[in-house]
Amino acid sequence: MDTSSDTGDGAPHRLGPGPPAEGGAGGARPRRAGGTAGGAARPGLHPAVRYLGGRVLTALVSLFAVMVTSFFLFRVLPGDPVAALTQGRSVTVEQLEAMRRDFGLDQPLPQQFLDYCLGMLTLDFGMSYQYRVPVADLIVERLGPTLLLAGTGTVIAAVLGLVLGTRAGWRRGSLMDRVDTGVALTLWSVPSFWLGLLLIVLLASGAGLFPTSGMSSPGAQGAFAAALDTAHHMVLPVATMVAVVYAQYMMIMRSSLLDEMGADYLTTARAKGLRDALVLRRHAVPNALLPTVTLIFLNLGRVVSGVILIETVFAWPGLGSLFYSGLRVPDLPIVQALFVVFAGSVILMNLLADLVYPLLDPRVRT
């Protein structure tokens, strides 16, 4: 039975039940789930903002944990700074107490911790016990030689590792692959201080080809001569660092390239007639670089702290040798500040790696 009727204007009018008209009684548009009273959905934080905020918060928490660890760690070390600095001298009890007051060691431990945290937040690392100069000035003075040595070694190690890792992975199982991998793993397992001492015995003290220690010679005059002299002093420390570090980049690059070699897009590229060298350069290497780039960022954070043993062996006037001299006392302002600087550089580079990696690989974006 037809329940529609003519309204006179030619349009049928349905008499039976049907969907309510918009705006009529009971006919309001249903509100969108999760929306506001006006019907608009509440905007949330952008995924990139959440990702950035989470990484920054994690870095700040890690840095605070490092600060707390630095304060208590070096106070449980054996040794008394006042006794070490006055060893072999005739001092009175009053003089020893005056030194403790000067160093702030007579304060209760909570007060020392509060002063330490306030100093760290304002970049006031205190006064060195043994050098009697601000620790911040010592760090600025020694930072340049450390960056020069460690930065040069890191760049050379990364380039060498990427080239050898690409060659070894692309020619898997060949004699070149076995030789490169064997040499890299052997050098990777050698302690850096032992290799440095060996190079000093063979090439410095024995053959006399390179200086045994220091950053420059007293007789160097002129900018060009001074640069050559510094480069001459850098050969053995940089060679030691590169020999121990490059294997990390090589093995990661080789493993990443082996994972990519069975991918369908490489088969498609070969089916199009592309030469192997072009397939490697344009397709395989860019995708295999992602884990290696992450490793480079992580190692950049260790540039400042990773040369402590090498600087000590070669008497290089950097932060590593300064840290070693501070441990011998112990010079608490120096070792606490450098511990935070070393760990903070690692945390900063980890944060940069987390921020750069999504730009290189969109698959990890959330």
Split into its structural domains, the chain has a count of 1
Structural domain of residue 186, as residue ranges?
135-331
Between the alpha carbon of residue 1 and those of residues 4, 9, 17, the distances in Å are 9, 22, 14
pLDDT tens-digit readout, 164-213: 988 888 888 889 889 999 999 999 888 888 999 999 999 988 788 888 88
Q: What pLDDT does 106 receive?
A: 86
What CATH number did the domain enclosing 164 receive? 1.10.3720.10
51 falls within a domain: no
46 falls within a domain: no
- CA atoms lying within 13 Å on the CB side of residue 341: 25
348 falls within a domain: no
The Cα–Cα gap between 262 and 276 comes to: 14
337 falls within a domain: no
What token pair was written down for 358? 């999504």
Residue type, 286: P
144 falls within a domain: yes
What residue ranges in the chain does DSSP mark as E strands? 4-6, 12-14
Between the alpha carbon of residue 210 and those of residues 195, 200, 203, 258, 271, the distances in Å are 15, 8, 6, 40, 53
Q: What pLDDT does 261 receive?
A: 76
266 falls within a domain: yes
Between the alpha carbon of residue 364 and those of residues 134, 249, 289, 293, 335, the distances in Å are 44, 22, 15, 15, 38
67 falls within a domain: no
The Cα–Cα gap between 58 and 56 comes to: 5
Beta carbons of 27 and 20 less than 8 angstroms apart? yes
129 falls within a domain: no
Q: What pLDDT does 16 receive?
A: 47
Residue ranges of the chain whose pLDDT lies below 70: 1-45, 304-306, 360-366
